[in-house]
Amino acid sequence: MKVVICGAGLVGTSIAQHLAGENNDVTVVDQDASLVRKISETLDVRSIQGHASQPDILEQAGANEADMLIAVTFSDEINMVACQVGHSLFEVPTKIARIRQPGYLKPIWGDLFTRENMPIDVIISPEREVARAIGRRLHVPGAFDVVPMANGLVSVVGVRCNEDCPIVNTPMRQLTELFPDLSITVVGIIRNDKGILPNSNDRMLPGDDVYFVCDSSHVSRAMAAFGHEEEEGRTVIIAGGGNIGLTLAEEIEQEHEGVRSRLIEFDDKRARAVAQQLEQTMVLNGDVLDLEILEEAHVVNTETFVAVSNDDEVNIIGSLLAKRAGAKRTIALVNKHSYGQLITTLGIDAVVNPRVITVSSILQHVRRGRIRGIYSVREDFGEVIEAEALETSVLVNRSLKESKLPKGVIVGAIVRDEEVIAPRGETVIGKNDSVILFSTYESIKQVEKMFSVRVDFF
């Protein structure tokens, strides 16, 4: 597959790394000479310096032969024009754009990004994606990540095993015996910053970050098995009134009935603007690192403190101060990957990385085969994938033990006619089943082939 990526920032580089690692033909375009040089030195991709929306630059990048154009520069306008040029001049089949400004995404302008007007096939809004990701964490206290799949019937949950976790040191094979009515499959473990694909004899240890797939109706019981029986938070403090903070506050007002939120914003002008757009959220103007402001926001009685400012260090320190001042749970937005392992040792409960969330959203539309959903489990480990098994798939009408799944693949759940089936060796995958599985990056290509549509199918 030939892909042109406009933008060599963190998101563009991550996507290029994924696609180049899977032997795709990737070209990256950026105006910044240092970014172009860096990406050419570290990845097996073509790199071109230039304005990503200019026709001659896109032609030089091979847009006339590209299967896909992914526009993730820092400018919404450049992303939109690049997609328009890719469509009008080069007939690029699939165009994806990152759009960050909320003004472009209002429902009243819903016809803007249609084929007749501005032909962008997929719009990715990091602010919306991050707000939704944080909102899901509010629903499941104790989890550092929750991702719905199969129209919400299945959940992918990330949880840390503490010393008091009831099932630490328990072999995986015994989980079914201990919880016979609980549909749960552990698909990945992060231990000492390394990914582990668990087998039936592996045990979860204190300090492990565990990813499991389960029936969404079983999430509360599954969390109880890991020692988490906290009630859903009803009070939230949001630190940071930027696009993410505002979008999160709006989501809480619209989707989380009974949840009371307060928002702290440092800039006086921005605080006033945010207050005018929110109906039920109290907005405070002040420094989140000021204990007096935290006290004014009633942090001592707050169940969840969410730091989503534009400064990683402010988010980290603010979360630590809030935890010390009485907040029961803290969530910090952090862009720098190098901070990840440090943060969990400091006592912050969950970390949100906008880049990882955005890349997952984009890869969902890049993967071949009948791929419906993707969740990246670290950039060096693998992905949880939701795929549809068509009758041409090699998996259909075979039991899992007969299917000879590629090394590095674990099936987490099967959905058939809205029924969630816990996978066992004798489980047979049927036509049109949704299969939720984990795959290491080394096996992604094989997974795509398993769920691809053969030409003779038509």
pLDDT in tens, 360-382: 888 888 876 677 888 888 878 99
Q: What is the per-residue pLDDT for 246? A: 94
Q: What is the pLDDT of residue 456?
A: 37
CB-CB contact of 307 with 332 (8 Å): yes
What pLDDT shows up at residue 51? 94
- Torsions phi, psi of 269, nearest 5? -65, -45
Tell me the C-alpha distance between 385 and 376, whole Å: 9
Contact predicate 58/90, CB 8 Å: yes
H or E stretch covering 160:
strand 154-160
Where the chain has pLDDT below 50, the residues are 454-458
Distance CA 380, CA 1 (A): 22
Q: Dihedral of the CA atoms 97, 101, 105, 109 (nearest 10)?
A: -110
SS3 labels along 305-359: EEECCCCHHHHHHHHHHHHHHCCCEEEEECCCHHHHHHHHHHCCCEEECHHHHHH
Query: Under CATH, to which class is 235-353 assigned?
Result: alpha beta
Q: What CATH topology corresponds to 357-457?
A: Alpha-Beta Plaits (3.30.70)
CA distance 240 to 251: 15
| Cα distance between residue 42 and residue 81, in whole Å | 28
Q: Where in the chain is the domain with CATH 3.40.50.720?
A: 2-124, 235-353
**In the prediction, which pLDDT does 178 show?**
85
As assigned by CATH, the class of the 2-124 domain is alpha beta
List the structure tokens of 30. Answer: 């950026």
Rounded to 5°, the CA angle 174-178-179 comes to 115
Identify the H or E element spanning 235.
Answer: strand 235-239
Cα 409 to Cα 40, 258, 383, 445: the distances in Å are: 31, 41, 10, 12
Would you state the pLDDT for residue 444?
87
Instruction: Give the pLDDT score at 273.
Output: 95
CATH code for the structural domain at 144-225:
3.30.70.1450
Give pLDDT tens digits for 334-369. Answer: 988 777 667 767 888 888 988 888 888 888 888 766
Task: Give ranges for CATH 3.30.70.1450 in the chain.
Answer: 144-225, 357-457
**Residue 27 contacts by C-beta under 8 Å, 6 or more apart in sequence?**
2, 3, 4, 5, 45, 46, 47, 48, 61, 62, 66
pTM: 0.84
